[in-house]
Amino acid sequence: MPPAFVPLGRRARDVRLPDERLEVRAVGKYFHTPDGSFEALHDISFGAAAGEFVAIVGASGCGKSTLLRIIAGLESLSSGAVLVDQRAIAGPDRDRAMVFQDYSLYPWLTVLGNIRFSQRLRANGRDRRGADAGGAAERSLLLLELMGLQRVRDAYPNELSGGMRQRVAIARALLNQPELLLMDEPFGALDAQTREVMHDLILHIVAFERRTIVFVTHDVEEAVYLADRVIVLAPGPGHVDSIWATELPPAAERTQEMKRAPEFLVIERRILDRIRATSGVQKDLDALHRLTRGSTAA
């Protein structure tokens, strides 16, 4: 029997959601290089409701990482605004946590030490609250359990597999209960089987922790499986091409089998087609044909 979910592939342009946790409002970005100004992002607008999982896909170089870094407050914007709970952000803050592709763990700290690292920073800084620190210690142990990392809690990053390292990075990001979890190709370096395990783990976290997630990936299947909505960015300069509502069942009810259902494959195909149509690859193929014709003629 096919998995029971509503036929999907609805293109959801300009959908305004109630209870928006994140609002990206007409964001533009120029990079100033010795060769002149380069417009990387143009008039990007979208939102994410509390508890929503938004995936961003698009051709390489279209500005996905730049956009995520702007939302994290790690990169300045040239125009527009990013609002979290209706307040414009001004740099990085505890309400947003980022997970990168390359794990970025501290090699001199154990698994538990890495998970608790940001808490240590806070304890040393102005934000010192005893009850808070106690709660975080307990929470770090719960996250260790949730991520299946108890056995390696005292191990160092170089003793871990890639999947384990990424679970540590996710646990660390979740420790301070950020409003927004920002992930830039977090599973890009993992093998296919480990990715599947990580996908179900992330859906598990979404179901239990109710975090709002913005997730950048080049893997459209991953985006459709994990997200409530998929945003396709197109390059030249980076802009929103289309926004897709995946209309899958809630996170806790998704299964790997759904990836093979016709409804799933239809939306995956449509999104891939949009990426292909906007990526410039076709133009490159045309150039290749001209090149080949040129060399044959010669």
Ligand X SMILES: Nc1ncnc2c1ncn2[C@@H]1O[C@H](COP(=O)(O)OP(=O)(O)OP(=O)(O)O)[C@@H](O)[C@H]1O
Residues contributing to the site for ligand X (CB under 6 A): 31, 33, 38, 40, 58, 60-66, 218
Cβ atoms within 10 Å of 14's Cβ, excluding its own: 8
Interaction partner, residue 66 (Mg ion, ligand X, none; CB < 5-8 Å by kind) = ligand X
Site for Mg ion in 4-23 (CB under 5 A): none
Query: Considering the complex, what minimum distance in angstroms separates the CB of residue 65 from Mg ion?
Result: 3
3-state secondary structure of 138: helix
Rounded alpha-carbon distances, angstroms, from residue 38 to 10, 28, 30, 34, 58: 34, 11, 5, 10, 19
Site for Mg ion in 50-89 (CB under 5 A): 65
* CB nearer ligand X, residue 73 or residue 113: 73
* CB nearer ligand X, residue 76 or residue 256: 76
Query: Considering the complex, what minimum distance in angstroms separates the CB of residue 33 from ligand X?
Result: 5
* CB nearer ligand X, residue 71 or residue 143: 71
Rounded to whole angstroms, the Cα distance separating 53 from 13 reads 16
* CB nearer ligand X, residue 146 or residue 234: 234
102 binds Mg ion (CB under 5 A): no
* Binding residues for Mg ion, total number by CB under 5 A: 1
Query: Considering the complex, what minimum distance in angstroms separates the CB of residue 92 from ligand X?
Result: 17
Q: Which residue is nearest to Mg ion (CB)?
A: 65
* CB nearer Mg ion, residue 65 or residue 176: 65
Rounded to whole angstroms, the Cα distance separating 231 from 161 reads 31
51 with 210: CB under 8 angstroms? yes
Query: Considering the complex, what minimum distance in angstroms separates the CB of residue 235 from Mg ion?
Result: 12
Query: Considering the complex, what minimum distance in angstroms separates the CB of residue 69 from Mg ion?
Result: 9
Task: Give the HSE-up count for residue 44: Cα atoms under 13 Å, Cβ half-sphere.
Answer: 35
Query: Considering the complex, what minimum distance in angstroms separates the CB of residue 66 from Mg ion?
Result: 8
Rounded to whole angstroms, the Cα distance separating 236 from 41 reads 8
* The dihedral sign for the CA sequence 278, 281, 285, 290: positive
Interaction partner, residue 110 (Mg ion, ligand X, none; CB < 5-8 Å by kind) = none
Interaction partner, residue 73 (Mg ion, ligand X, none; CB < 5-8 Å by kind) = none
Site for Mg ion in 25-54 (CB under 5 A): none
* CB nearer Mg ion, residue 115 or residue 230: 230
What count of residues does the chain have?
298
Residue 297 burial (10 A CB sphere; 0-12, 13-18, 19+): exposed
Cβ atoms within 10 Å of 207's Cβ, excluding its own: 14
Backbone angles phi, psi at 185, to 5 degrees: 45, 55
Q: Given phi > 0 = left and psi -120 to 50 = alpha, else beta, which region is 239?
A: beta
Query: Considering the complex, what minimum distance in angstroms separates the CB of residue 227 from ligand X?
Result: 17
* CB nearer ligand X, residue 66 or residue 166: 66
Angle between helix 162-175 and helix 192-209 axes, rounded to 10 deg: 20
Interaction partner, residue 61 (ligand X, Mg ion, none; CB < 5-8 Å by kind) = ligand X
- Kind and range of the H or E element at 133? helix 130-146
Please report, as ranges, the residues that interact with Mg ion according to CB under 5 A: 65
